[in-house]
Amino acid sequence: MGFHGVHRRLQLKGSRGPVHIYDDYAHHPTEVRAALAALRELEPSRLVAVFQPHLYSRTKALATEFGAALAAADETIVLEVYPAREQPVGDLAGVSGLQVAQAAAERAGGRPVWWLPTAELAERTLAGRLDADPHLYGEGTVLVTIGAGDVFRLGEALAAEAPIEGER
């Protein structure tokens, strides 16, 4: 039979052209760092991380650490917080994924960091970039969606809507 991986732990979702799309459930900086390190073992030509913070309280407490972990990617996209059971009120008012994006940008050494708060905006932006720039996102590129929320749907959408070869 053979091992087919674990659901939402570096799970290969598909491809978009030469870009392999993975998903990982990581929602703590240590897990994010481990997922990116594992993907580096594949020796990608470019590693693109799309991160959706999970919970306002965790984002508030760990934004700097998330940014440091995400700085291991060649390019980082950060979405808005997946709220789960929380709302950004009281002590959590003003907490946003933007804080993670800023922390990642501070540590990225000039590598691109994008703040794309909605999955729809991220999908449009990434689809356009992946399809339009085969030199930047060519053979060996790995894109990984990371987070405990619904970010996995973004990777699935990017893989499902891939243009048919020759129709770019």
| HSE (side-chain half, CA atoms, 13 Å) at 40 | 11
Burial of 128 (0-12, 13-18, 19+ CB in 10 A): exposed
pTM score, two decimals? 0.91
Mean pLDDT of 122-128: 96
60 close to 89: Cβ distance less than 8 angstroms: no
pLDDT in tens, 82-115: 999 999 999 999 999 999 999 999 999 999 999 9
Q: Order of strands, edge to edge, in the sheet holding 19-24? A: 11-16, 19-24, 141-146, 46-51, 75-78, 113-115
Closest CA to 146 of 5, 7, 6, 10: 10
The pLDDT of residue 40: 97
Q: What is the pLDDT of residue 160?
A: 85
Element (H, E) at 61: helix 56-70
Tell me which of 62 and 6 has the higher pLDDT.
Answer: 62
Nearest to 22 by CA among 141, 129, 118, 162: 141
Residue-wise pLDDT tens digits, 14-38: 999 999 999 999 999 999 999 999 9
Q: Is the pLDDT of residue 5 over 80?
A: no
Query: Is the pLDDT assigned to residue 7 strictly greater than 80?
Result: no
Mean pLDDT of 44-72: 98
- For residue 4, the model assigns a pLDDT of 53
Q: Is the pLDDT of residue 72 over 50?
A: yes
Q: What is the DSSP secondary structure assignment for residue 147, as one 8-state letter?
A: -
Q: How confident is the model at residue 149 (pLDDT cuts 50, 70, 90)?
A: very high
pLDDT band at 8 (very low <50, low <70, confident <90, very high): confident
pLDDT band at 1 (very low <50, low <70, confident <90, very high): very low
**SS3 assignment, position 53:** coil
Q: Name the nearest CA neighbour of 102 among 69, 64, 72.
A: 64
Distance CA 135, CA 19 (A): 11
- What domains does the chain contain, in order, with CATH numbers? 22-160 (3.90.190.20)
Q: What is the CA radius of gyration of the chain?
A: 15
Distance CA 24, CA 147 (A): 7
Tell me what pLDDT residue 161 has.
66
- Helix or strand holding residue 16 (H, E): strand 11-16
